[in-house]
Amino acid sequence: MASGTYKAIGINLKSAPLGESDRLLTILTEEYGLLRAVAPGSRKHKSSLGGRSSLFVVNQLLIAKGRNLDKVIQAESLESYPGLSQDLSKLTASQYLAELALYQALSEQSQAELFHLLRQQLSRLEKASTAMILPYLAHATFHLLAVAGLAPQVQSCCITQQQVIPNFADPDWRVGFSTVAGGIINLAEPHSADLSARLTAAELKLLQYLPEPNFSQEMVEAKHSLSPTVQDWLSIERVLRHYAQYHFDRPIRSAALIDLCFVSVRSLSQLTP
């Protein structure tokens, strides 16, 4: 970026107090990727940048280049997701996705695909019924991994490259998942892969639906008469969580609250939409 000022559309992914009245923002921009900039005076009561520097607000920004840190001169809000902060489960899921975006976003180059995907997923989470928060979190996580070129292999065995079809006729049937190998492992075939998890037929089927661009719970139920439980989706989330943490070599701190948010819920069908 040249010296002087520049414009960008960005979403605030992280905010920290700086000095007496400023905030230091970590912003994912469509045009320039990840950047850090000071929002001067944004912690003052009547600051025009106050609300615009909140988490997950999308702004049209005018930014001044600085020697050490850039500075937000103007911000015009384009979109926000107030519903996320009004529900602990939604807020936790959105912070989880923000961490994943921060881990993979590059600086000083366009991150348009990641930027638009994150906005789409946050919007969907904000509008989701309680029953759909975990499924949408799993779907969004899978697609963020795909944007990073790290999506796990879920349709075929990592060792044999043969398609794996869930066997619902056998209640004891399982398929392995190897974080190191990069996806599912057919346990009927000889292998030496370290397994991170063993998935039931229902869990594998859910995992195999995640690459669908327009995933929904209704689609899963209609296509295979599945009625997933919270435990099924928690198993999928944990598999994807460990996989993402391994490949990004960073912990997803927000994930610690996932179990807390959903541990008392027995099944998705019991939740009130």
pTM of the model: 0.92
Residues in the chain: 273
Judged against a pLDDT cut of 90, whether residue 224 lies above it is answered with: no
Q: What's the pLDDT score for residue 57?
A: 97
CATH 2.30.30.100 fits 83-270, yes or no: no
**Domain 5-80 is found in CATH 1.10.510.10:** no
Tens of pLDDT, residue by residue over 207-222, are: 999 999 888 767 766 6
pLDDT tens profile 245-254: 999 999 999 9
Domain ranges of the chain: 5-80, 83-270
pLDDT for res 214: 81
- Look at residue 181 and tell me whether its pLDDT is greater than 70: yes
* d(C-alpha 257, C-alpha 272), whole Å: 21
pLDDT(267) > 80: no
Instruction: Tell whether the model's pLDDT for residue 128 goes beyond 50.
Output: yes
Using the predicted structure, report yes or no on whether residue 1 has a pLDDT greater than 60. no
Residue 254: CB atoms within 10 A of its CB come to 18
Confidence band for 185, pLDDT divided at 50, 70 and 90 = very high
CA-derived radius of gyration, the chain? 21
pLDDT at residue number 268: 43
Q: What is the predicted pLDDT for the residue at 134?
A: 94
Which residue type is seen at 21?
A: S
Task: Compute the average pLDDT of residues 246-272.
Answer: 75
By percentage, how much of the chain surpasses pLDDT 70? 92
Span 33-67, pLDDT tens digits: 999 999 999 999 889 999 999 999 999 999 999 98
Selected residue with higher pLDDT from 227 and 174: 174
195-200 contacts, C-beta under 8 A, 24 or more apart: 196/239, 196/242, 196/243, 197/235, 197/238, 197/239, 197/242, 198/174, 199/174, 199/175, 199/235, 199/239, 200/173, 200/174, 200/232
Task: Judge whether 228 and 190 are in contact, CB under 8 Å.
Answer: no
